Amino acid sequence: VGGVDPKQLAVYEEFARNVPGFLPTNDSTQPTGILAQPMKQAWATDDVAQIYDKCMAELEQHLQSIPHTLAMNPQTQALRSLLEAVVVARNSRDAIAALGLLQKAVEGLLDATSGADADLLLRYRECHLLVLKALQDGRAYGSPWCNKQITRCLIECRDEYKYNVEAVELLIRNHLVNMQQYDLHLAQSMENGLNYMAVAFAMQLVKILLVDERSVAHMTEADLFHTIETLMRINAHSRGNAPEGLPQLMEVVRSNYEAMIDRAHGGPNFMMHSGISQASEYDDPPGLREKAEYLLREWVNLYHSAAAGRDSTKAFSAFVGQVELGEREMHQQGILKTDDLITRFFRLCTEMCVEISYRAQAEQQHNPAANPTMIRAKCYHNLDAFVRLIALLVKHSGEATNTVTKINLLNKVLGIVVGVLLQDHDVRQSEFQQLPYHRIFIMLLLELNAPEHVLETINFQTLTAFW
């Protein structure tokens, strides 16, 4: 325990100059004691540092505004500890320190009780929120990372903390929670009515967000779809022994709930099953297969061309019609006019890519000397191009912030591919080849988990779709 003495440091410096397996360095420009020299912090005035500095200044203002009579109050002490954590995160400037700060802020909010001084409690909550908002800033760690970590804290914290409905409602109202993930967790935690604490908490949260303060919270039944569905099931199966207030609460939300169910028929699960069933609909309009074949061939050529651009963005613009040249492709062919035609286009493209793979694999059967790597490359030539087209269409569908449209399209396409797979297996049976389907699923999962902001906002729903 303790610091490294000069003799020990000399050993490390010797290793730095004489790395085993490499020629020793005689670089006279390298100063002695280089390992002992701290790195200069060139980031002291960047955006993240400024965000931390502003956060620290606001916390200090809040602390100075607290009356001296409350100086020893546990919540005042907690605010001083929070300020120290911000200072640590600001000085260390790494993600681990930021995560520690985030967890401290979330747990601090969850630990707050309404029995304290009202003004101090309000200030206490405001301070914890401003820290989380600072971390959520796009110049710092961004909303996707921050919301994911906050939701994880809510899910994994101890029971005595996680059911603080006022704190959770505050986080949700300030858009700091991934509602899809939290909704699923809350529905599962009720254990079909066996976990009474979770049921009571869910009832309180639904009442606050969807009844009492609906207009303020800007929430809809879709945000708590699984939670409401579980509460409905508990109420229906309770046989007169439902938790107090549950039947009345369910009656209040029933009208909105029924409307939500109708909307959910356009949700992810419905879209996937719809795609599977539509994959067996072969009564295509005259000429559609020829149009789809032409467009697929054009896209494959664009994808493999030198002018495709990074991630095929230029090829995609020319193909779909986001720039001036686009109108002569998919829009002009009429493929994008209706959802039915889009669905049929994806089904036909999947079938054609699969058929090309079968033909390529048949070459190896007729010519055993053929190089297997070359055969697979022929299959991947079309499959990878098709997958990139799917990923780009998912990425650019709807508005940038409209994740529902993107996830619905992804689930529809996955359903279509599964439907084609099932039909193919039924027809070919023992001659069925999994290669094209396996390649589509693997490459599509990789494409949709690229480090891009648009895709990061749908990471959880994407993984759920593949699950």
Q: How many whole angstroms separate alpha carbon 239 and alpha carbon 93?
A: 56
- Res. 155: pLDDT tops 70: yes
Q: How many whole angstroms separate alpha carbon 253 and alpha carbon 259?
A: 10
Q: How confident is the model at residue 7 (pLDDT cuts 50, 70, 90)?
A: low
Residue type, 261: I
- Res. 378: pLDDT tops 80: yes
Give the SS3 label for residue 376. Answer: helix
Lowest mean pLDDT of 136-140, 236-240, 327-331, 430-434, name the range.
327-331
Lowest mean pLDDT of 27-31, 384-388, 424-428, name the range.
27-31
Q: What pLDDT score does 135 carry?
A: 93
DSSP 183-194: HHHHHHHTGGGT
- Choose between 342 and 104: higher pLDDT: 104
- Choose between 149 and 236: higher pLDDT: 149
Q: What pLDDT score does 38 carry?
A: 36
- Digit-coded pLDDT (tens) for 392-405: 888 887 777 778 88
Q: What pLDDT score does 322 carry?
A: 37
Query: pLDDT over 70 for what percent of the chain?
Result: 77
Closest CA to 363 of 376, 352, 353: 376
In this prediction, residues 79-94 reach a mean pLDDT of 91
Asked whether 172 and 206 are in contact (CB, 8 A), the reply is no
In this structure, what token pair is assigned to residue 177? Answer: 């929670």
Q: How confident is the model at residue 222 (pLDDT cuts 50, 70, 90)?
A: confident
The number of CA neighbours under 13 Å toward the Cβ of 159 is 8
Contact partners, residue 177, CB within 8 Å, separation at least 6: 147, 150, 151, 154, 168, 171
- Choose between 11 and 268: higher pLDDT: 268
In this structure, what token pair is assigned to residue 467? Answer: 């699950």
Asked whether 192 and 202 are in contact (CB, 8 A), the reply is no
In this prediction, residues 197-205 reach a mean pLDDT of 93
Asked whether 334 and 288 are in contact (CB, 8 A), the reply is no
Q: How confident is the model at residue 334 (pLDDT cuts 50, 70, 90)?
A: low
Q: What pLDDT score does 355 carry?
A: 92
In this prediction, residues 77-81 reach a mean pLDDT of 92
Lowest mean pLDDT of 3-17, 67-81, 151-165, name the range.
3-17
Q: What is the DSSP letter of 208?
A: I
Q: How many whole angstroms separate alpha carbon 61 and alpha carbon 64?
A: 5
Mean pLDDT, the chain, as a whole number? 80
- Digit-coded pLDDT (tens) for 232-269: 888 888 766 778 888 888 888 876 655 555 455 556 66
Q: How many whole angstroms separate alpha carbon 404 and alpha carbon 128?
A: 31
Q: What pLDDT score does 259 carry?
A: 53
In this prediction, residues 289-300 reach a mean pLDDT of 87
Q: How many whole angstroms separate alpha carbon 388 and alpha carbon 257?
A: 38
Lowest mean pLDDT of 12-21, 105-114, 414-423, name the range.
12-21
Q: What pLDDT score does 102 carry?
A: 95
